[in-house]
Structure 1
């Protein structure tokens, strides 16, 4: 647990707290604390708790899908012309409440069932309240939202450790976020909000993706505007005219690149089935796909079926 010494001055004074953060151990049934003097790492704190409390706490490292950048892999990852890359330049400062946030959270979770309490006395008036939450939760959620997008990379770099890279990209404050799109590897600073919604909207706009905050495809995923125009003409055309429209669609798909080209092939397959199976094909297939989507399936499979469903909806409109 934590005590804010700005808010509870008398309590902190009672227990001789003069520097921040101060960590004290209160044995069971006692109000006489023992000051923790060891290293400020999760493993060291866990060892201290185990020794003093007779517990067997083990710190589980939270899995992370953020791509960790170094001087060795920075150019390979960030300057890849086939990828849109969002990079967080951060500094893992020590010695104040912000840097202790991950450790305190880990210990509280691990010690819960042992009824053990570690008290962290700190001051919060000089700490950005959203940073720890942003670093621990929001950025990981951004990664999760775009984990199935092969062309989108979410990464971070320890700017304290790799100062030369931070200087090269004019990083002076932390965290600094820069976006390196396919067409601009000089990088552009991200100046938007720090909520998950803000990041998802930014990446969708810049990368042409269509994800929601849960990482699911939206109803616009897979839609190619130039093909939508042709689909409307295709559906309204006579049977003979549909054949010539199909040829025009093939020609348009040949012009497309990247993900649009992949989606174009779905348009063509849908048009072919429409010709062979009649006008009810799109509606019936959408219903079939929705029944599968309502079941428990893998995220990758859900993406595949959602793309087909979205594109088929243009034929059923």
Structure 2
């Protein structure tokens, strides 16, 4: 949509005229001779510059609503079309957008659309953080929301499909409100925070605008057919449209001309041929170019791939690959990702991915691959395994799926740590948690009223949504009889754990801990020669 709004277009002026120099943007001279000076000013006045950016963003959110933008686009494209030579190509997936009603916020002179009897060309309502409570709070019919991002490639290809589905229901006069929620630049407050963007475009259904606690999320590919099928479950049969089934769109970068490096590059159009290799297992990293974790992982992943390529066994039975998850997609529902990096293992001939678990180290990749490989492999040069600090005797009660309910719903308060054996933070917490557990065993009040427990989160997955683990370690306190966890967010020393327990315990608990050792000073080596005019202190 940017093409018709270039500076040479008179329609650009409609936007530009509403903006104030120094309020919404930094003004430059037409020849840009003062560009550097203005940028230096912004660098020297970060608070003022940020305020200008914030005001511009606020203006865009409040004034550049889709109906206004589409109205400008329509007239601008109409003007460009008048200068076009030849006949343009028109395809079935193109949607005619009528100019919207004239309003104080709209600079064009469109015919009042409300005077028309039927107009279902754009049956969508735009939600923002200020109008959502009013629009949905008054709505008693089914509401369908598309949560998307203006900066997401997948959202760009998804929104036309959502529009087609909305038009299909509008043609049936279905009692359904279709709405758009740009959830990245808008931040929707509770109870409407389900509209906020979560790394992928989503379709959400509410039985009515008021019933925000009953939101359902579509768990399927974002096609017109799937959207219609999902929404049809919430309306009477007479309002259910019939649309042809459409295959999920595959987004793909160009196939690389050279793919001879140890880490093979996968794109949307080569996904099936590489990942579903009948002869070789595949270790696939799905990354994002902007992801900091992915950047940190890159040298380790490439080194593991290099070592695997030198192995007589691994080179014949294993492919180490990567795919940019922001630019490529697949039609296979089992392969979905909502965070980066996502690492999956696919056995030879299988279409079912195994999510990676373990430390993101060369040794971690090796141990994981060996565990799941279709054929025995051996890779030279892999570092030896680290000492397992969790394997020894423990004073904490070990929790797994078989005894979880009995412990959490028992007659005592529970302090529960969920850890991962490969997690560095968990390893650093281990001695402090064990110290607290041992001290609790010796305390009469703790023995009577508290269970100190720990659970390997990589081996035990809990189905209860209240106990959702989003990172390691996770420490919860569960009051007896409540069944609801209270997340610990403070320090991780034994004394911090004791303070957390005492704040939430249903009975008084006293635990005697050893005296704290004074912190050891951190020091460089004492310099052998300190005779210079500037003395070195360590």
| TM > 0.5 fold call | no
- Give TM-score, length-normalised by structure 2: 0.23
Which has the greater radius of gyration? 2
Greater relative contact order, per chain length (Cα 8 Å cut-off, separation 6+): 1
Q: Whose helix proportion is higher, 1 or 2?
A: 1
- Give TM-score, length-normalised by structure 1: 0.37
